[in-house]
A and B are shown apart, each in its own frame.
Chain A
Amino acid sequence: MIRNLLIWAALIVAVTVPLIAAANSPLLAWRDPAYIMAGFAGVLSMGLLLLQPLLAGRDLPGLSPVASRRWHRRVGISLIVAIVVHVSGLWITSPPDVVDALLFVSPTPFSAWGVVAMWTAFPAACLGIFRQRITLRYRLWRLGHTGLATVTIVGCVVHAMLIEGTMEVMTKTALCILVLLASVRTLARLRVWDIRRRS
C-alpha cells in the first residue's frame, strides 16, 4: 500500500514539477499568451509521454489491465491534442518559423526532431484508436504502434533537450531520462520486436 502510494506520488511529482519550474521562468514575462500556451502544451506532452509507456506496461499500481488500457487511450488522445495546441500556439506566435520547421528548412536543429515526432505520433494514435478495425495480427499491430511511438519518444526528447527557454534545464533533463527509462522498460518487457505467433 505504502509502495503504491509512493509510486503514484513520484509520478505526480515527475509530471508536475517540470510544469511548475517552467511556470517560474522569467522569460514568461516577455511572451504572449499564445506562445506561453504553446510552451506549456509542449511541457505537458513530455509528462504525458512518461505516462504512456507506464500505462501500456501496466506498471501503475491499483489500475486493472482494462483501466490501464483505457487510460493509455485517454492520455494518448490528450497527447495528440497537446501537440496540436503546441504547434498552433507557435503558428500564432511566428508563422514563418513554423512553416520553416514543417518544411524541414528551419535554422534550428531541434525543429526537425519535433516535426518528425509529431508525424509519427499521429499514425501511432490512429493505430491505437482503430486497432479493432485494422485487420492486423496483434503482434504486428503492436510492433507498428510501438515503433512509431518510439520515434515520437526519441524525437520529443531530443527536441526538448535542444531547446533553450521553455523548460528549466534540471527538471527537463530528469523528465527526459524518466521518459526514456520508462519506454525502454516497457518495450523490453513486452518484447515488442518478437512478432512470432503465440504458440
Chain B
Amino acid sequence: MTNSRFSRRSAMALGAAMLVTSGSGLVLPARAAELAPTPSMRGGSNNYRPGAAIVDRIGGGGFWMTGTVRRAGDGTPLPGQRIQIWAHTTEGHERDPQSHGATLTDANGEFRLEMPQIVPAFGQPHGHLAYDSGEFETVFLRPIMASSKDKTLAAHFILQPA
C-alpha cells in the first residue's frame, strides 16, 4: 500500500479543513437535509370532515390504522400530533360522521387507532388520513391495502413546518 493516495499530508489537510469548517455551519450532517416532506396523495382529501373528535376507537374496531409522524429535514419524531382518519368500513361510508375519528401521536411520534374493518370502496380498499392542525403544512394521505383481507394499514407523515 505504498501507493496509497491518502498520504499523511492529505490527512493533515483534511483534518485541518474539518476543524476550520466545523464551527462555521458549512458542514451539514448527511442525514439532515435529505428527509423530504410527504406530499398529499391524489384524492386524499375526498370526503374529509374537518375537526374529527379524538376518540379511543372508531366504532366497534377490529382493524388498526397505524403510522408515524416526523419532521421534515432531521426526521425528529413528533409527539402529540393530531391525525384524522376516515374510510369506507363495515360500519359506514366515507362521508358518514361515524366513519371519522382522530388520534394523537405518542412520545415516539407513532399513532395507532382502532377502527372498523375497511372494505373496498370505489374500486380499492383504502383509507384516508389527514394532518391538518396548522403547525405544519397540511397533508392528506390515501394509502391502499395490499389485500382487502388485511387487518391493518400503515401511513407515514413527514411534515414541513408551516
Contact = CB atoms under 8 A, between A and B. Distances in A.
Contacts of A163: 123
Contacts, number: 62
A194 interface: no
Contacts of A29: 90
Given A30-B88, A93-B93, A96-B47, A105 B123 contact: no
Contact of B43 (A27, A106, A165): A106
Contacts of A27: 119-120
Interface in B38-54: 41-47
Interface residues of B, number: 23
A108 B122 contact: yes
A165 B121 contact: yes
A90 to B, nearest CB: 7
A187 B94 CA distance: 43
Query: Interface residues of A toward B: which range?
Result: 20 to 34
Interface string B66-104: 000000000000000000000011110111000000000
Contacts of A105: 42-43
Nearest to B121: A165
B142 interface: yes
A105 B43 CA distance: 8
B84 to A, nearest CB: 16
B124 interface: yes
Interface in B2-60: 41-47
Interface of A: 27, 29-32, 35, 90, 93-94, 96-97, 100, 105-108, 110-111, 162-166
